[in-house]
Structure 1
Amino acid sequence: MILMKKEQINRSDFELWKSFKEGNDEALKTIYYNHFKHLYNYGRKFSSDKELVENCVQDLYIDLIKKRENLGDTNNISLYLLKAIKRKIIRRLQQEKKTLNLDFTFAEWPSTYESITSNTNAAYREKLFGVINQLSHQQREIIYLKYFNSLNNKEIAEILDLNYQTVRNVLVTALKKLRKSMKMLNFFFIMLFDKSSPITTKQEHK
């Protein structure tokens, strides 16, 4: 599979979003199928009510269709939609007086790392999950957005309404804790996380 640079992906997103705004139903289908699963999975981190989350995702797409002529531009559809679904679910929970259930526990690998993890010993995977799940909620949410949704620190800061440096500091602290706890699995850990770690790179991948 040919890997696209982020600049190419962003340009593609800009063109796809523009086409959707202009009424192209094929562009809408592409956006829907490319992002529905990620939006649903992220939504479930805020509510255990599967039906509520699924309805919110469907409602988000309906809103986009109704308002598409007046929507702003974006070169990152994933970021745009993740921000929108978080707001929508939290608002719905407040309206229905339901509990906000923040659940950023880890039980499966990001698809990005399937080739690395498919042959990994189950005991190693279980240990890593256990270590990650001992991190703070904020640390786990940032790791989730970075490694499961391929967002950079600036984009994560936008979703979480934090400044860039705060996100970077939280991530650095979290990865240091993970590295220390997983020192017996250091080679595997480096393959999984260090490629885009701000600890090991002089400049963050944008």
Structure 2
Amino acid sequence: MEQFALSNSLDKNQSKELDLTYIFETYYKRIYNYIYYRVNSNEEAEDLTSQVFEKVMLKIATYSKDKANFEVWLFAIARNVINDHFRSLKKHKIFSIDKIKELISKENNPEEIVLTAETNDKLLRALKVLKSKERNIVAFKFGGNLKNKEIAEILNLTESNVGVMLYRIIKKLKVEMEREV
């Protein structure tokens, strides 16, 4: 995805339009999931995701593969959009997984659905004990489906630091969830 090379028979505007379409189709779901994990609202996630792709459209000419790979650049834009959103709300404790049941629960058995809902509720309560940076890392990892290396690039950390942080975060979540039993 570093290059957006298309057929030479296309003019520049057509080529750029197709490249942006490809970017949107390829990354929309992952960007949306990452944002949804952070804002806990379908409508806000949709609005913020559209802001991300608007910024991508306006700033695509400034992208340099020498500075970062495209995915890291894209998620850095998404992170900045979310940070701007939180600043405007003056709330930093919002974290989205409230409707995780929709993402996880595909069981048909009512008992399994209830058990999954209870587990998800425990997870939501456990996530509230995390600091903003920890919630952001969880959102990058599980919402954005990013690798530790990519998270490290976005947050200007080492890959091993991200791995250790994720290990500690998951351990903290597990302890918190077990405490509720």
Q: By the TM > 0.5 criterion, same fold? A: yes
How many correspondences in the alignment?
161
Q: Which whole-Å deviations, capped at 9, do the CAs of 1:46-93 have from their partners, x for residues lacking one?
A: 7x994973663243133145x2xx632389543221112333565698
Q: CA deviation at 1:136?
A: 2.0
Task: Tell me the SS of whatever aligns to 2:166.
Answer: helix
Please tell me the residue identity of whatever aligns with 2:170: L
- Residues 1:107 and 2:103 aligned together: no
Alignment of 1:52-201 (within 5 A): 53=48, 56-64=51-59, 67=61, 71-73=63-65, 77-87=70-80, 90=83, 98-99=88-89, 101-102=91-92, 103-109=94-100, 114=104, 117-119=105-107, 120=112, 121=115, 122-183=117-178
Aligned CA RMSD, in angstroms, stands at 3.9
Please tell me the residue identity of whatever aligns with 1:27: D
Which has the bigger relative contact order, CA under 8 A and spacing at least 6?
2
Match of 1:3 in 2: none
| Separation (CA, whole Å) in 1 of partners of 2:85 and 2:70 | 22
Please tell me the residue identity of whatever aligns with 2:79: K
Task: Tell me the SS of whatever aligns to 2:172.
Answer: helix
Please tell me the residue identity of whatever aligns with 2:100: W
Match of 1:198 in 2: none
Q: CA deviation at 1:178?
A: 2.3
TM, length-normalised to structure 2: 0.64
TM, length-normalised to structure 1: 0.58
Percent sequence identity is: 23
| Separation (CA, whole Å) in 1 of partners of 2:16 and 2:148 | 32
Tell me, which stretches of 5 or more residues in structure 1 are unaligned?
A: 1-12, 185-206
Q: 1:35 aligns with which of 27, 33, 36?
A: 27
- Residues 1:25 and 2:20 aligned together: no
